[in-house]
Structure 1
Amino acid sequence: MKHEELAALLAEPTTPLMRAALRTLPPKTLETLATVADQAAEQGWRQVIVDRVRAFADEQPGDGSQAVAAYFTTTEQRTGSGMSVGWSPFIAALAPSEEMPDLRHTESTARMVPVGEAARAEEDFADPRLTEALQRLASLDPPAHADVLRVHLPTSRVTRVKP
């Protein structure tokens, strides 16, 4: 079986053929497969983030230097099981250099935003594919409050950094 054929079968793991094949695997093999699948999913969502950030950066007006990196800060999200930390669906900064910009809120006052208003802002202004990829990445690799997600466009690398 060629790689492409295997990839096509794995792309639809809920088909009867794949379900039957998965049921015959020993538990240790299934655990290994699950680990590899999680890693592949994480890499896939990281690539979606890079693609969406690159598209956004390319749409920016001006003849200035191209963006080298984009940064996302964390946000608290209310879920059925309480509060969780995720990535904000909005780019905190597009940087034209390798230097990380100052992402602190130095001149703004934090205020509570009603849940409905925050959801509406996400719906109106956030890129849905980028938002989904950020949410999936946060569920696979949960961030801490002080973390920053760096998208380095020349290398297509998505890393978590501490400011």
Structure 2
Amino acid sequence: MKPLDLAQLLAAPTDPPVRDALRRLAPRSLDALIIEALSATEEAWRQVAVDRVLEFVAEQPGDGRPVVAAYFTTTERRTADGMHVGWSPFVAALASTEDVPDLRHTRTTAVAVPVGEATLAEEVFADPELTDALNRLAALDPPGHEDVLRIHLPTRQVTRVKP
């Protein structure tokens, strides 16, 4: 079986033939499949984030220097389960060098935004696909308060850095 054929089957794991095949796997094989599926899922969401940032950068007026990296800071959300840290759906900085810009919270003015207004701002101004990708990445690998997400455009690598 070709990898693409297998990928198409696994894309619909609730279809009867795939579900039946998964039920017949040994527990060790199921665990290996879960690990690989999570890794592939996380990488796929990273690439969605890269694609959306590349599209965003292409729409920006340029000064002749290509953008090397985009940075996202964290945001805290209140849910029924409590407070959760995730990635802000808005680009904190675009850099034309390899140097990480100063993104410390002490360098910016914090403004309290009511929960409803923050959600409305995301719905109106944020890229929905980028927002979904960042939320999924935060769910798969939750960030810490001081973390910064770096999307390096030439290599398409998404990494977490500490400023």
Calculate the TM-score normalised by the size of structure 1.
0.96
Aligned to 1:161: 161
Distance 1:116 1:14 in 2: 36
Q: 2:144 aligns to what? A: 144
For the residue of structure 1 that corresponds to 2:66, the secondary structure is coil
Shift of 1:105: 4.3
Provide structure 1 residue ranges, at least 5 long, that are not aligned to the other structure.
none
RMSD: 1.2
- Provide the residue aligned with 2:17 in structure 1: 17
Equivalent runs, 1:3-152 vs 2, <5 Å:
3-105=3-105, 108-152=108-152
Structure 1 residue 108, shift from structure 2 partner: 4.5
In 2: Cα distance, 1:25 partner to 1:107 partner: 53
C-alpha distance in structure 2 between counterparts of 1:108 and 1:31, whole Å:
44
How far residue 112 of structure 1 moved from its aligned partner, in angstroms, is 1.7
- Cα pair distance change 1:158/1:107, threshold 3 Å: closer
- What is the DSSP-based 3-state SS (H/G/I as helix, E as strand, rest coil) of the residue aligned with 1:97? coil
Letter of the 2:81 counterpart: S
% of aligned pairs identical? 66
Residues 26, 116 of structure 1: CA spacing in aligned structure 2 closer, same or farther, 3 A cutoff? same
Q: Structure 1's 107 and 147: CA in aligned 2 closer, same or farther, altered over 3 A?
A: closer
Letter in 1 for 2:154: P
State the Cα deviation string for residues 63-100 of structure 1 (Å, max 9, x = none): 42111000000010112210011000000000011111
C-alpha distance in 2 between matches for 1:4 and 1:26: 24
SS at match of 1:43: helix
Structure 1 range deviating more: 104-113 or 73-82:
104-113
Gaps in structure 2 of 5+ consecutive residues: none
User: TM-score, length-normalised on structure 2?
Assistant: 0.96
1:101-134, Cα deviation, whole Å (9 max, x unpaired): 1113456432321111000100111000000000
Query: Partners of 2:98 and 2:107 in 1: how far apart?
Result: 24
Q: Post-superposition, which runs of at least 4 consecutive aligned residues in structure 1 deviate over 2 A?
A: 104-109
Return the offset for 1:7: 1.1
Q: 1:146 to 1:106 in 2, by over 3 A?
A: closer
